[in-house]
């Protein structure tokens, strides 16, 4: 073999070894990331959850609170509680965010209850008191919300056709992923994502950046590769997740409105109207950028889905209430009053 041929073989072998190393490293990182992301019953430090919830509401007496337990279509058992008004009323279903529980939603529930609504609050799979099942951050949890709606309809205090979904972060994204429900009068979506893959890439880049802080300055140039590594890790993670659990990982609320239109055809829902949305977001959100909310609004408008936006200039993730509590509550109540009356008409 000539020297040139030997050099070519050596180069090919080196490239192959490098590719194998990079691939192996990506698979290792993907498995580690999936283990962390999907692990059930992890709870974040509440100080990291920037929603400052109202504390002025009063919970109903114990006689008007009752625990509920129910199953999803895929067999997950979920736990929650129903706060009943003394007389029939609209019911609000509260949807918590990723790695918090329904207990964090109690101040919101108390405020909504004071305004005269029944409230159903529950734990998504892998959260709180519900089954210890791998979480997906939205995709699988749609089944949880579907099951919660069935429970809300079954309560004797719920006025027919007067359901409202109020979600935060992951819970808001799940509400937008939900197939159309003709008896849902409105959706309040506070700080949802538009594409989960973008959020996961951001989380991986953040993880890699924090891990590289101790590196010597010479190696900091490797950080330029982090976006590519994050992309490859998410793609590998989706494949590994499907092999492991048998269903998809990634959710895309921004793409769901096209499905809404198809589902709301006269053939399927002759009397139904598009579900109106109140979309809430803070400009300074560094976990789910405001660009996600703007894309959701644009996609909804392109499909003629009625959507109102309440964007605040200050505040981090789920920080709109903290920015202006009085305006936040007023905006919610105007939306609820308008669309509950419309549903009745």
Distance between CA atoms of 90 and 293, rounded to whole angstroms? 27
Q: pLDDT tens per residue, the chain (345 residues)? A: 554 444 443 433 333 333 334 455 678 888 888 899 999 998 876 555 545 555 667 899 999 999 999 999 999 999 999 999 999 999 999 999 999 999 999 999 999 999 999 999 999 999 999 999 999 999 999 999 999 999 999 999 999 999 999 999 999 999 999 988 989 999 999 999 999 999 999 998 888 887 766 666 655 677 788 889 899 999 999 999 999 889 899 999 999 998 877 665 445 554 456 899 999 999 999 999 999 999 999 999 999 999 999 999 988 899 999 889 999 999 999 999 999 986 555
Are 173 and 138 within 8 A, CB to CB?
yes
Phi and psi for 95 in degrees, rounded to 5?
A: -120, 115
Are 284 and 316 within 8 A, CB to CB?
yes
Which are the contacts of 281, defined by CB distance < 8 A and separation ≥ 6? 190, 191, 288, 290, 292, 293, 309, 310, 311, 312, 320
Q: Nearest Cα to 280, choosing from 51, 36, 73?
A: 51
Single pTM value for the model: 0.88
Are 135 and 127 within 8 A, CB to CB?
yes
Tokens at residue 245, please? 């659990």
Quickly list H helices, the chain: 3-38, 106-114, 142-154, 170-177, 196-211, 226-245, 256-263, 290-302, 320-323, 325-344
């Amino acid at each position: 073999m000539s020297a040139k041929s030997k050099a070519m073989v050596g180069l090919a072998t080196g490239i192959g070894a490098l590719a194998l190393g990079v691939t192996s490293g990506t698979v290792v990182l993907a498995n580690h990331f999936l283990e962390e992301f999907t692990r059930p019953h992890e709870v974040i430090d509440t100080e990291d959850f920037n929603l400052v919830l109202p504390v002025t509401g009063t919970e109903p007496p114990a006689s008007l609170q009752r625990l509920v337990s129910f199953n999803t279509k895929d067999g997950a058992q979920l736990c929650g509680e129903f706060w009943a008004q003394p007389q029939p009323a609209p019911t609000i279903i509260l949807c918590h965010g990723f790695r918090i529980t329904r207990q964090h939603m109690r101040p919101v529930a108390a405020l909504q209850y004071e305004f005269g609504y029944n409230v159903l609050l529950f734990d998504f799979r892998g959260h709180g008191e519900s089954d210890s099942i791998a979480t997906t951050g939205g995709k699988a949890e749609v089944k949880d919300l579907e099951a919660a709606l069935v429970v809300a309809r079954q309560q004797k205090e719920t006025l027919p056709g007067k359901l409202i979904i109020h979600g935060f972060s992951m819970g808001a994204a799940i509400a937008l992923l939900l197939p159309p429900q003709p008896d849902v009068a409105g959706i309040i979506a506070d700080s949802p994502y538009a594409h989960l893959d973008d959020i996961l890439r951001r989380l991986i880049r953040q993880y890699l950046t924090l891990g590289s802080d101790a590196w010597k300055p010479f190696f900091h140039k490797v950080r330029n590769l982090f976006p590519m590594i994050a992309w490859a890790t998410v793609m590998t993670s989706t494949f590994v997740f499907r092999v492991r659990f048998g269903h998809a990982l990634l959710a895309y609320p921004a793409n769901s409105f096209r499905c809404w239109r198809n589902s709301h055809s006269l053939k399927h829902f002759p009397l139904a109207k598009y579900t109106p949305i109140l979309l809430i977001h803070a400009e300074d959100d560094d976990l789910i950028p405001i660009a996600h909310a703007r894309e959701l609004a644009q996609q909804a408008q392109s499909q003629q889905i009625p959507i109102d936006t309440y964007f605040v200039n200050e505040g981090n993730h789920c920080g709109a209430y903290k920015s202006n509590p009085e305006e936040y509550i007023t905006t919610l109540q105007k939306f609820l009053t308008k669309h509950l009356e419309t549903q009745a008409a």
